[in-house]
Amino acid sequence: MPCHLWGAGPCGQAPDPERGRSSMDLGHPIVSGDSHLEVDSKNWIGRVPEKHRDRAPRVIRTEDGVDAWLVEGSPLRRNSSDLYGGKGRDVWTPNGQRYDETPGTGPGSQRVREQDSDGVSAEVLFPAQVAGPALWRSIEDDSAYRSVVQAYNGWLAEDYCSDAPERLIGVGVLPWTTVDHCVSEMERCRKLGLRTVVLGTFPSGKGYPTPEDDRFWAAAVDMDVPVTVHVQLNRSGSRAGPLFRYPKDLTADGSSRGGIVTQVANDKFCRLGGINAVQLLFAGVFNRFPNLRIDFAENQIGWIPHFYEQADERYERHWPWAEKLLGMPRLDREPSAYLRAHCLWGFQTDRAGVELRHHIGVDRLIWASDFPHQESSWPESRESIDRVFAGVPGTEIFKMVCGNVVDFFHLQDCYPTWEAAREAARD
């Protein structure tokens, strides 16, 4: 049954006027497009098959009373930078943090109450970062590693988000192994009821696009599963190496270092997920899958207009030799045209980016609270929104803090259009 949340209160109830107070009367829900699920692995490692359970990641309490993650192939990992939870910048330090002392680390029912306190109606819940999928990939055996991914996804859907599925929007984790494994786990996530998935590497498990990745992109489009990248795809360790494999080789390893992808994704103006977007662009993924859109969460947005401008400029300067020497066919459109059509970008407190929003496209921007990480403003997200969006027309605020995330993640069964929100606010 559709559930329209007009403020911070639980489904069907008015928000508490003493919570999530804001000088800006939005008159519509606020949905965070990027928050995080920082939880002790004891919540879900019981789902790992017994034959692999001793290899599953675990949280231990160190001698100095701090929580840390223990997993094979990795040094003991403390997660203090992500265990902030609104403790206060005068109190929190990047060491000495514990799960049982941090908001945002409890069960789904607690998370809903924390949303109420923040004036937020729902959150898209990405996995942990410091203690998440990249750390799990330290497990050498692929079968054991995949069982950890599957255990987390099953717990997320069946034990956590089930407390309030219209408010707890879980992001399924895809394995960093092969295309077939990615497709299989995406299908499984869909059957579990998870609305979206996150890639940590290219679908092949590599740090650059490959032809076999197309099986994944085709499956995502066919199943209508929203695909996300949190910050950027991982290119460390075994995934380190070239940005691109060109039709013609100029170097012994076939990477053609300094090729056109490097020129357009130049680190003087391109950063984070922008590099991956350029890789996909030149791999022809956006041409072959015109309906594919990807959400690059937590990239911030103030840099993107300059990136788009310079991508077009540098492409025009370099495509003639790239066509001759690298065998790269000329693009049908400017790079920025592809990027505007296929990429969404997540941000938090980026006032400069909001002022430049029309150079990116208002319908391509997704606000996030990032709770419980250190960048979060919880429990004062509404006050933060007041500052970041001051002077912005209401229709545009709606898109960035609600409408775009609802559209991309297919949440229309729970959240209203702008017109419906305004009509309900008047009633």
Would residue 14 count as lying in a domain?
A: no
**pLDDT for 18:** 42
Would residue 63 count as lying in a domain?
A: no
Q: What is the spatial distance between Cα 205 and Cα 181, in angstroms, rounded to a whole number?
A: 10
Would residue 25 count as lying in a domain?
A: no
Side by side, the strands of the sheet bearing 31-37 are 31-37, 122-127, 168-173, 196-199, 227-230, 294-297, 343-347, 365-367
| Residue 123 · residue 167 · CB < 8 Å | yes
Would residue 85 count as lying in a domain?
A: no
**pLDDT for 25:** 64
Residue (of 12, 19, 7) closest to 117 by Cα position: 19
- Name the DSSP letter for residue 23: S
The model's pTM is 0.92
**pLDDT for 252:** 61
Domain count, the chain: 1
Q: Where are the alpha helices (DSSP H) in 5-141?
A: 50-53, 108-118, 133-136
**pLDDT for 17:** 38
Kindly report, residue by residue over 250-294, the tens digit of the pLDDT: 776 555 566 899 999 988 899 999 999 999 999 999 999 999 999
Q: Which residues of 118-133 are buried (b: 16+ CB within 10 A; e: fewer)?
A: bbbbbbbbbbbbbbbb
Residue (of 185, 178, 129) closest to 154 by Cα position: 185
**pLDDT for 24:** 55
Extract the residue ranges of the chain whose pLDDT is less than 70.
1-25, 238, 252-258, 422, 425-427
Q: What is the spatial distance between Cα 115 and Cα 104, in angstroms, rounded to a whole number?
A: 9
The residue segments making up the domain with residue 293 are: 31-55+104-426
Q: What is the spatial distance between Cα 153 and Cα 124, in angstroms, rounded to a whole number?
A: 14
Would residue 114 count as lying in a domain?
A: yes
Would residue 17 count as lying in a domain?
A: no
Coil, helix or strand at residue 397:
helix
Strand 122-127 to strand 58-61: parallel, antiparallel, or no bridges (unpaired)?
Answer: unpaired
Domain with 190 in it: what CATH number? 3.20.20.140
| Residue 105 · residue 372 · CB < 8 Å | yes
With residue 179 as reference, give the H or E element that holds it: helix 179-192
CA quadruple 296, 298, 300, 303: dihedral sign: negative
**pLDDT for 253:** 58
Kindly report, residue by residue over 124-155, the tens digit of the pLDDT: 999 999 999 999 999 999 999 999 999 999 99
**pLDDT for 7:** 40
**pLDDT for 418:** 73
Tokens of 220: 């995502």
Would residue 6 count as lying in a domain?
A: no
